[in-house]
Structure 1
Amino acid sequence: MTSLDTSYTLQNKLLKLSVYGALLLAIIGIVIGYLVSSQMVLFDGLYSFISVILSFLSLYTANYIRKKDIKRFPFGKEMLEPIVIIIKYLVILLLTFSALVSSFITVFNGGRETVVEFALLYALVSTIVCWAIYACLQKHSKEEYGLIKAEANQWRMDMYLSGAVLIGFLFASLLSLTPYSHIIPYVDPLMVILVASYFVKVPITEMAKAIKEVLEMAPAQAIEEKYQDVVFSIEKTYKVEQSYLRMSKVGSKLYVEIDFILNNQSDILTIDDQDFIREQIDQQTKELKYEKWVTVCFTKNRKWAH
Structure 2
Amino acid sequence: MIIGFHEKKEKRLLTLSFYVAGLFVFVALGFALITHSGAILFDGIYSLIAFFMALLTLKVANLVQMPDDDRFHFGYTAIEPTLNLFKSLIIIATCLYAVVGSITSLLTGGNSAEYGLAMIYGAIATIGCFAISAYMKHQSSSLRSDLVGVDARTWFVDGVLSVSILLGFALAYFIEQTRFSAYAPLVDPILLILLGTAILPIPGKIMLDSLKEVINKAPPEAVTAVIEKKLKQTLVAVPYEHVEVRISKRGRDLYILVHIIVDESFSVATISELDDIRISCEAAMREWDPSIIMDILFIKDARLAG
In the superposition, the TM-score normalised over structure 2's length comes to: 0.92
For 2:36, the aligned partner's letter is S
For the pair 1:205 / 2:216, whether they are aligned, the reply is no
- Which piece of structure 1 moves more, 215-224 or 184-193? 215-224
Letter in 2 for 1:91: I
Please give the per-residue CA displacement for 1:228-253, whole angstroms capped at 9, x wherever unaligned: 10244456654411110001010111
Question: Structure 1 residues 160 and 189, CA, compared in 2 at 3 Å: closer, same or farther?
Answer: same
Give 1:274 shift. 3.4
Secondary structure of 1:213's aligned partner: helix
- 1:263-297 superposed Cα distances (whole Å, 9 cap, x missing partner): 2134777645534443134314523231x321111
Judge conservation of contact 2:244–2:305 (CA < 8 Å) in 1: yes
SS at match of 1:289: coil
Contact (CA 8 Å) 1:224, 1:247: kept in 2 or not? yes
Q: How far, CA to CA, are the matches of 1:302 and 1:187 in structure 2? A: 66
Q: Aligned residue for 2:118?
A: 119
Show the 5 A alignment for 1:235-254: 238-254=238-254
CA drift at 1:69? 5.1
Work out the CA distance in 2 between the residues paired with 1:284 and 1:17.
33
Letter paired with 1:9: K
The answer to which of 146-155 and 214-223 deviates more is 214-223
Counterpart Cα distance in 1 of 2:38 and 2:122: 13
Distance 1:257 1:90 in 2: 31
- Say which SS state the counterpart of residue 66 (structure 1) adopts: coil
AA of the residue aligned to 2:60: T
Amino acid at match of 2:293: W
Q: Does 1:280 align with 2:286?
A: no
1:52-74 Cα deviation digits (max 9, x unpaired): 01111111111122233512212
Q: Which moved more, 1:155-164 or 1:18-27?
A: 18-27
Runs (5+) with no aligned partner, structure 1: none
Aligned to 1:161: 161
The one-character-per-residue Cα deviations of 1:198-254 (angstroms, maximum 9, x if unpaired) are 121112211111111111111244542232102444566544111100010101112
Could you tell me which residue of structure 1 aligns to residue 80 of structure 2? 81
Letter of the 1:282 counterpart: A
Compared CA separation, residues 98 and 289, structure 1 to 2 (3 A): same
CA contact (8 A) 1:239 1:267 kept: no
Identify unmatched segments of 5+ residues in structure 2. Answer: none
2:5 and 2:276 map into 1 onto residues whose CA distance is: 29
Distance 1:299 1:9 in 2: 41
Matched, 1:63 2:47: no
Give the aligned residue type for 1:26: V
- After superposition, the Cα gap between the structure-2 partners of 1:199 and 1:225, relative to the gap in structure 1 and judged at 3 Å, is same
> Contact (CA 8 Å) 1:238, 1:268: kept in 2 or not?
no
Report if aligned partners of 2:66, 2:75 keep a CA contact under 8 Å in 1: no
Checking the alignment, whether the CA contact within 8 Å between 2:14 and 2:57 is kept in structure 1 is: yes
Change (3 A) 1:99 1:199: same
**3-state SS of the aligned residue for 1:241?**
strand
Distance 1:237 1:219 in 2: 28
Distance 2:90 2:71 in 1: 29
Task: Give yes or no for contact 1:234–1:240 (8 Å, CA) kept in 2.
Answer: no
Matched residues in 2 for 1:5 and 1:298: separation? 28
Are residues 1:152 and 2:152 paired? yes
Q: Could you report, residue by residue, the CA deviation over 1:12-33 in whole angstroms, capped at 9, with x for unpaired residues?
A: 1111111111111111111211
Give the distance between the partners of 2:265 and 2:187, measured in 1 at CA: 76
Percent of residue pairs identical: 28
The total of aligned residue pairs comes to 303
Determine the structure 2 residue equivalent to 1:180. 180
Cα distance, 1:106 vs. partner?
Answer: 0.8
* 1:302 corresponds to: 302
In the aligned structure 2, how far is the partner of 1:39 from the partner of 1:198?
17
Contact 1:257–1:296 (CA<8 Å) still a contact in 2?
yes
